[in-house]
Structure 1
């Protein structure tokens, strides 16, 4: 549990602070800085591109890096940049630093995947990865506390510095954990430098031709198309329906709260009952909540937030754990890097389609029906994976059964 929680706090720093604290503090920063809508659009686009670059870099050269050192370097870099953000007045420089933190966040998660799958207990892989991936939701919650407690009293600059201090504490805690893990591995005569990795050509061939690798990336493509589009247009859709703006705030709160607790339970389910069962469960809840929301947005928007949090935060750990059942820790990290790229591409495609639909119809209702269809497609994909797992288990039982 120490391993999962420590890496979860790394996610809170790299993703919760490095990628989302800026958006949370923008209203307060705009009171003293000239940050207009053009800067916000640039920040969103550039950080997305930077994250994709970091994920691709991880897939291509990540197997040549020491994951422990990479995690410490990215954590120290993010914490330093968070501190610097509190002293800046130029929005362009801020956006550049956000892009660097986005690259760092992608590489941080890939390092966590490799470390958990190599050093963690095999029977707790999904649980550890799901708890770690849910650290982003913890970051959401800490951002809320920063906005409520620190920013009003000490100002937005102090909020960045407080995040930086928390970041350095996490880096120190991570250093002690990694040192303990390495000493334990050496005492057990485990070669911590050995791992079966893939070259760039082999990696892309694997993703395109091998079932598990391909389906994991395709799944994350659909997840990106549905979740990023959902959150991008949610408040706009609620405003279109003349619903109270507070309803959007409550929904975001539900997403964060659900995500904080979903990682443990969903990961436990995957380790005990199989990844197919876990995927069926979270995609089923996600699809049902989206359909209900599309039928009656005002009544079921909180349910949609619950379904989103239940699926989005644990999915990264579940997919990585599923891939690790077939591939080495380094190869899992590489495939997961390509999966992060497809996730971002899915979000970009989803937002483009949403914009086209909104432009053509003047309404976002059909956009959310499209997102519901994507949720149903994810559930169908989970059914296929579940059936495949059952067939594999049945064939294995048949192979070891005594013959007459």
Structure 2
């Protein structure tokens, strides 16, 4: 490998590189999102019996995890602009692996709560730089499907959880499950670090290098400042509001699904695990398929389809959570949830670039974290007031209708109105003459021009 900084992947090797990087990023999302809190939500009943804590503690830990997500989204954005997205993504995955393996070591619920809070944070800091990494490696016309697949990484983690929870819990060995997923995450992180180093992703990209040399951090800082100025752009504000509502609705939906099914509706552990398993299996393909579809029909249309499924899923849990219908609700939720979290970064990736895209997407994760905190608080408040989680699922249905209205207000990705501050990177330049059915690369505009 040459010692000079590598700024672009050779064209012939790009498909293989894109596949490997996509698989690794998907694994990171599977670990930080699919494990951690989602594993805790499935093991909470068994951990409560063993360690001894009540649902006030569970609610506090869940809220703390959302706070960790919020703090790490802000901190991760700053670190990504300072040191580079690939470094922060790998570092966050390593921190996630360490926390997963430390949870079963202690019986202190306080220590476990701190570790879960950090895990919630790594979910944000590993995700924020993805738009930068994808922009450097993946061709413009494929970013929707790739980010859709990466967003489905959570489902791979959920599938692993659903397969491992019954045998480990049946053997009264919930601690062994934490050790297992932690060791797996550590192995994937080591492989990713080696691959990123071999590809030169830890070095600054060409767009970050000032003409004639100089400090690439200065160019990144200027691009980041342009990203912060996007608060004056209408579509950016809409995206931030949508991410708040995504956190408000989607996160509590999953966090309280198992307690709602097992403790309120009377379903057993096997049925709850089956629902989670179906969610995971469908999510494994839903993100990619909807992302692939969004590259053809547009991201706005794909978002509307997802929010329609999400609305129906919530309505089922409110109107008729009986028999196998909660399983149908899980199917609809999986069809919506995983693609949604890939479509938003895909929209940002297709309308902004470099550090500016990282800042814009970083703030979306902050607003999502705030929404998650608010949603978990409101869900707990409604549970204590009414005695049922059902009313919060009714609130989710209303929030989903608002999200559909906001989606209709977004300009199409790639349009002159939507494109801001883009400087085509190596992946963009490979697509010189896209086919008529493919979206064309965005028109280059500076942040100042768009604000005018």
The aligned residue for residue 234 of structure 2 is 211
- What are the ranges of 5 or more consecutive residues in structure 1 without an aligned counterpart? 400-404
| Stretch moving more, 354-363 or 148-157 | 354-363
Paired residue for 1:230, among 225, 228, 253? Answer: 253
Paired residue for 2:355, among 330, 338, 358? Answer: 330
Q: 1:67 to 1:379 in 2, by over 3 A?
A: same
The aligned residue for residue 311 of structure 2 is 287
Q: 1:377 to 1:91 in 2, by over 3 A?
A: same
The aligned residue for residue 370 of structure 1 is 395
SS at match of 2:126: helix
Paired residue for 1:168, among 186, 189, 200? Answer: 186
Distance 2:329 2:192 in 1: 35
CA contact (8 A) 1:212 1:323 kept: no
| Stretch moving more, 239-248 or 222-231 | 239-248
Shift of 1:163: 1.4
Distance 1:45 1:217 in 2: 20
**Cα RMSD (Å) of the superposition?**
3.3
The aligned residue for residue 130 of structure 2 is 112
- What are the ranges of 5 or more consecutive residues in structure 2 without an aligned counterpart? 1-18, 210-215, 419-439, 444-452
The aligned residue for residue 11 of structure 1 is 29
Shift of 1:160: 2.0
Q: 1:198 to 1:49 in 2, by over 3 A?
A: farther
**More helix, by proportion:** 1
CA contact (8 A) 1:182 1:192 kept: no
Paired residue for 1:309, among 328, 334, 337? Answer: 334
Paired residue for 1:350, among 368, 371, 375? Answer: 375
| Stretch moving more, 46-55 or 70-79 | 70-79
The aligned residue for residue 283 of structure 2 is 259
Distance 2:260 2:48 in 1: 24
CA contact (8 A) 2:196 2:202 kept: no
Q: 1:95 to 1:382 in 2, by over 3 A?
A: same
Q: How does 1:2-401 map to 2 (within 5 A)?
A: 2-153=20-171, 155-182=173-200, 190=206, 196=220, 203-207=227-231, 209-234=232-257, 242=265, 244-245=267-268, 248-298=272-322, 300-354=325-379, 365-385=390-410
CA contact (8 A) 1:320 1:332 kept: no
Distance 2:87 2:275 in 1: 37
Shift of 1:158: 2.2
Distance 1:359 1:152 in 2: 31
Distance 2:36 2:81 in 1: 24
| Stretch moving more, 72-81 or 237-246 | 237-246
Q: State how many pairs are aligned.
A: 392
- Normalising by structure 2, report the TM-score: 0.76
Q: What are the superposed Cα offsets for residues 80-116 of structure 1, whole Å, 9 maximum, x if unpaired? A: 2222223222221222222222222211111223211
Distance 1:149 1:245 in 2: 15
Distance 1:20 1:359 in 2: 22
Q: 1:192 to 1:136 in 2, by over 3 A?
A: farther
Distance 1:288 1:58 in 2: 35
CA contact (8 A) 1:235 1:245 kept: no
Q: 1:154 to 1:166 in 2, by over 3 A?
A: farther
- Normalising by structure 1, report the TM-score: 0.84
Distance 2:406 2:135 in 1: 24
Shift of 1:203: 4.5
Distance 1:212 1:333 in 2: 16
CA contact (8 A) 1:123 1:271 kept: yes
Shift of 1:352: 4.3
CA contact (8 A) 1:283 1:375 kept: yes
| Stretch moving more, 331-340 or 341-350 | 341-350
Shift of 1:338: 1.2
Q: 1:48 to 1:302 in 2, by over 3 A?
A: same
Q: What are the superposed Cα offsets for residues 123-158 of structure 1, whole Å, 9 maximum, x if unpaired? A: 111111111121111111112222234454582332
Distance 1:56 1:183 in 2: 22
Q: What are the superposed Cα offsets for residues 282-333 of structure 1, whole Å, 9 maximum, x if unpaired? A: 1222223434554433364333222221222122221111112221132222
Q: 1:180 to 1:315 in 2, by over 3 A?
A: farther
Distance 1:32 1:258 in 2: 32
Distance 1:376 1:364 in 2: 19
